[in-house]
Structure 1
Amino acid sequence: MAETDSEEEEVEEPDFIPPPPSVVARTQRQSVSAEAFGEWNQRVIFEPPVYPKTPDQTQGLLEVTSRSFLFTSLEEKDLRVVIAAMKGPLLLEPGMRVIQEGDTGDALYVVTEGQMDCIKVIDGAELVVKTCTKGDLFGELALLYNCPRAASVQCREASVLWELDRATFNNIVMEGVQRKRNQCLSVLSSVPLFQEISRTELENIIDALKMERRPHGDVIIKQGELGDHFYIVYEGQVMASKVTQDSTDPVMMIHEAGDYFGELALILDAPRAASVVASSEPEVCLLSMDRATFKRITGEHRALHGYLEANTNRYE
């Protein structure tokens, strides 16, 4: 399930969210793999469904999916086929439950309006662990790994969803996911931050990342503001600048591909220590995770959390 920032919840978000139940342990989760075809299993021509949409609906879905890690791996023509195959709009009322934790999953969902609460059973009680808002998707992990639903998803307010079926996902999206995933593995496996992380653990982390493209000059984070995201530079460069009491001239620092930033505000629960601006032409490509995802990932992978804490002074 795609993970997003939580709005203020009635139930306080736990610092550590245990891994979802599955047939095998999370660290032993099967990798994404293509289906084998041969004499006994003939490949058939797949015809994805087509659901009519207005030009505005199509454009809105293009904008939303272009920010998702799953769909950024697709060529534009394939992405348009996937969008045409999305069923909707599905209009939901508050309290409606779309996904039940532990069930078998046969579709993923894209949120274009409203808010959907992600709910897990923790110590026998259902707790809201995050909220999906416009632009987020959920339900993809059950399709990627053929595992039970990791959490329940329930409508918090009147919302609009679009549904993509498993067959379309397997036949069109999966190949692109494998390709993009391998590219990310080749980049991140050489980053010191992930040196103590196994390949399977790193794959789990990649699944939680979102890809963002920021144009040259765009302010990614601003010194003094509250921080809700952690970033890894995937392609290009960003320029960090910090104004101190000792000098009116800002201290400058360049982050290149493989570097990370934004972790201090999440680890220390403090305002942003510096501003960061996209400095590459025409854009910089970032991998990001929100606060809730960051807490979960660093809670599950203690080596990662230890490395980040041990290097909080690197900006000095």
Structure 2
Amino acid sequence: HHCPPFEVVQHDHDLDDAPARGLVRYDLIEEYSAALLPRGFNKGRRSQVMSAPVELTAGWQPPVFSKTPEEKAALRQLLSMHVLFSELPSTDIEVLLDAFQGLRFLPGARIITQGDIGKSFYFLQSGGCAISVQGQGVVSRAGPGDCFGELALLYDSPRAATVEAVSRCNCWSLELWTFKRIVKGNAMRRNARHHAFLDRVPVLASLGRYEQCRLLEAIRTQHVSEGEEIIREGSYGSAFYIIEEGEVRCSQQGSSHEICRRLVASDFFGERALLSTERRAATVTA
């Protein structure tokens, strides 16, 4: 199935009656990405409406939408910055690069409507959007590089907000079946692996499942080469690290010896600088 990039869409409902685009109505209900909503907005929402899981039909194939090399490069960059896609194998990335559909929304067009049945995950490549909630008005704004819709496809929960284009927006849209087949399976395996890993970290083992799930939403995997500095003494801290695999050493300026034992899997470091205004007390190297 081939289609030119960035087809103009006036409203999200325009996608519902467009079989020529390979899009159909699905039975999942979408929740807006928590990353763009106020802290605490989604508290308690997991207990709301759930829907039946989607079953892939036999012989299903992901759609293919033509793109220029420049468009593929821009989309690849967007995927590399999102945790859901950053750990996917290159073969899956290539399938996704073909399966994303370019949609252009004109100012005032509604991309997502609160309470509607969800169909897709979106990346915003250019333009700006307003995110509003019934009874609250505009609660946030989205810009280039932001995405929305993934939590619905992962957790089968209701759309929590309306997203409207405030300027001409170019979006990349991934339909539900491809997301389920490629992205969700990888995300579930990743979360299962990280849940088991967090259970082995003494300082985190006492957390409940809900707290662990919230923590998993903030975790990003960082691959570090041997000899590469992870944090530098004297710098300000912005991250707390847990070692999943490998070993690091800690050193301090003016000292010829390591100032603590080497740290291995399930050990953690960097928390002190986050709990206070202190600078990093040591350099940590892989």
TM bin (shorter chain): 0.5 to 0.7
- C-alpha distance 172-271 of structure 1, shift in aligned 2 (>3 A): same
Alignment match, 2:246: 236
Decide whether the 8 Å contact of 2:131 with 2:138 is kept in 1.
no
- Mapped to 2, the partners of 1:74 and 1:155 lie a distance apart of 30
- Mapped to 1, the partners of 2:77 and 2:172 lie a distance apart of 14
Does 2:277 align with 1:266?
A: no
Q: Which has the larger share of strand?
A: 1
SS at match of 2:284: strand
Aligned partner (choices 121, 127, 133) of residue 108 of structure 1: 121
Alignment match, 1:299: none
Alignment match, 1:138: 148
Aligned partner (choices 63, 68, 72) of residue 54 of structure 1: 68
Does 2:188 align with 1:178?
A: yes
List aligned pairs for 1:68-147, cutoff 5 A: 68-88=82-102, 90=104, 98-99=111-112, 103-112=116-125, 124=136, 126-128=138-140, 134=145, 137-147=147-157
Does 2:284 align with 1:276?
A: yes
- Mapped to 1, the partners of 2:94 and 2:85 lie a distance apart of 10
- C-alpha distance 78-263 of structure 1, shift in aligned 2 (>3 A): same
- Mapped to 1, the partners of 2:129 and 2:268 lie a distance apart of 29
Decide whether the 8 Å contact of 2:249 with 2:258 is kept in 1.
no
- Runs of 5+ consecutive residues of structure 1 not aligned to the other structure: 5-12, 280-316
Alignment match, 2:236: 226
Decide whether the 8 Å contact of 2:114 with 2:133 is kept in 1.
yes
SS at match of 1:235: coil
List aligned pairs for 1:160-239, cutoff 5 A: 161-239=171-249
Alignment match, 1:149: 159
- C-alpha distance 73-201 of structure 1, shift in aligned 2 (>3 A): same
- Deviation, structure 1 residue 140: 0.8
- C-alpha distance 111-234 of structure 1, shift in aligned 2 (>3 A): farther
Decide whether the 8 Å contact of 2:34 with 2:42 is kept in 1.
no
Decide whether the 8 Å contact of 1:50 with 1:85 is kept in 2.
yes
SS at match of 2:221: strand
Q: Give CA deviations for 1:245-281 in whole Å, capped at 9, x if unaligned.
A: xx5557544433223333333332444443333x1xx
- C-alpha distance 274-158 of structure 1, shift in aligned 2 (>3 A): farther
- Deviation, structure 1 residue 143: 0.9
- Deviation, structure 1 residue 240: 3.5
Normalised by the length of structure 2, the TM-score is 0.66
Identity of aligned residues (%): 30
Decide whether the 8 Å contact of 1:117 with 1:132 is kept in 2.
no
- Mapped to 2, the partners of 1:180 and 1:250 lie a distance apart of 37
Alignment match, 1:302: none
Letter in 2 for 1:19: N
- Mapped to 2, the partners of 1:45 and 1:266 lie a distance apart of 50
Which range moves more in the overlay, 228-237 or 173-182?
Answer: 228-237
Normalised by the length of structure 1, the TM-score is 0.61
Aligned residue pairs, count:
252
Alignment match, 1:296: none
SS at match of 2:243: strand
- C-alpha distance 226-101 of structure 1, shift in aligned 2 (>3 A): farther
Q: Give CA deviations for 1:84-118 in whole Å, capped at 9, x if unaligned.
A: 1112275787x977445655432222355677787
Q: Give CA deviations for 1:207-252 in whole Å, capped at 9, x if unaligned.
A: 3322222333333333333333333322223334344xxx555754
- C-alpha distance 105-242 of structure 1, shift in aligned 2 (>3 A): farther
Decide whether the 8 Å contact of 2:121 with 2:149 is kept in 1.
yes
- Which protein is bigger by CA-based radius of gyration? 2
Q: Give the aligned CA root-mean-square deviation in angstroms.
A: 4.1
